[in-house]
Amino acid sequence: MEIKLVGFSELQKRLQEFGPKVAANEQRNATRAAAVVFRDAVRMAAPVRTGLLKANIIVNKRRSTEGRFVVKYGVRIKAVKQKYGNTSANRRNRRVGKRFEVEGPAFYGRFIEYGTSKMRAQPFMRPAFGSNVDKAIEAFRMRMAKGVEDAAKKQ
């Protein structure tokens, strides 16, 4: 699920007055604040048997292909990073020592969210996102306003 915030042009313009670096930092901070609201909501909605699924729901920064000043954060179930081994195929492809992600210990979260052929779906992520959009937008707005105030105090 993706949310695009449009209409914060006044805050954006005020931040741009302090320079592009300050604007990018505050935009990143505000976007993360909104993602943390979603993460907390998903954790509250996650079914608990052992607590492993709830503990592995994280916020991570995502790479953006839209431009330098576009910031994306996602809420997902944590994966584990492993190193490529020193094999001839990995040497040939220059991957030795680099890292890749594999499913983490809470891989079963997607089975709970979407269901399987033997188990009905018990969605917890999608409803949490849908019901907390207003709270996330408010957290974004509050963090952007705080960023403008902090930048104004520094100058």
Whether residue 7 has pLDDT greater than 80? no
Q: Residues 41-66, buried b or exposed e (16+ Cβ, 10 A)?
A: bbbebbeeeeeebbebbbbeeeeeee
Rounded CA gap, 41 and 63, in Å?
A: 23
Rounded CA gap, 134 and 112, in Å?
A: 26
Residue of higher predicted confidence among 8 and 146: 146
CA angle 59, 64, 67 (to 5 degrees): 140
Q: What is the pLDDT of residue 34?
A: 92
- Please say whether the dihedral angle defined by the alpha carbons of residues 49, 54, 55 and 56, taken in this order, is positive or negative: positive
Rounded CA gap, 11 and 89, in Å?
A: 51
Mean pLDDT of 4-13: 65
Q: What is the pLDDT of residue 40?
A: 96
Query: What one-character DSSP code corresponds to residue 12?
Result: H
| pLDDT, mean over the chain | 86
CA angle 45, 33, 11 (to 5 degrees): 135
Q: What is the pLDDT of residue 27?
A: 83
- Shortest CA distance to 77 belongs to which of 119, 122, 112, 117? 112
Q: What is the pLDDT of residue 5?
A: 62
Q: What is the pLDDT of residue 4?
A: 63
Q: What is the pLDDT of residue 56?
A: 93
Residue of higher predicted confidence among 152 and 73: 73
Whether residue 2 has pLDDT greater than 80? no
For residue 142, give both structure tokens.
Answer: 């509050």
Q: What is the pTM of this model?
A: 0.79
Residue of higher predicted confidence among 115 and 70: 115
For the stretch 63-83, pLDDT in tens is: 777 766 677 888 999 999 999
Instruction: Point out the least confidently predicted range of 7-11, 14-18, 89-93.
Output: 7-11
Q: What is the pLDDT of residue 66?
A: 73
Rounded CA gap, 89 and 86, in Å?
A: 8
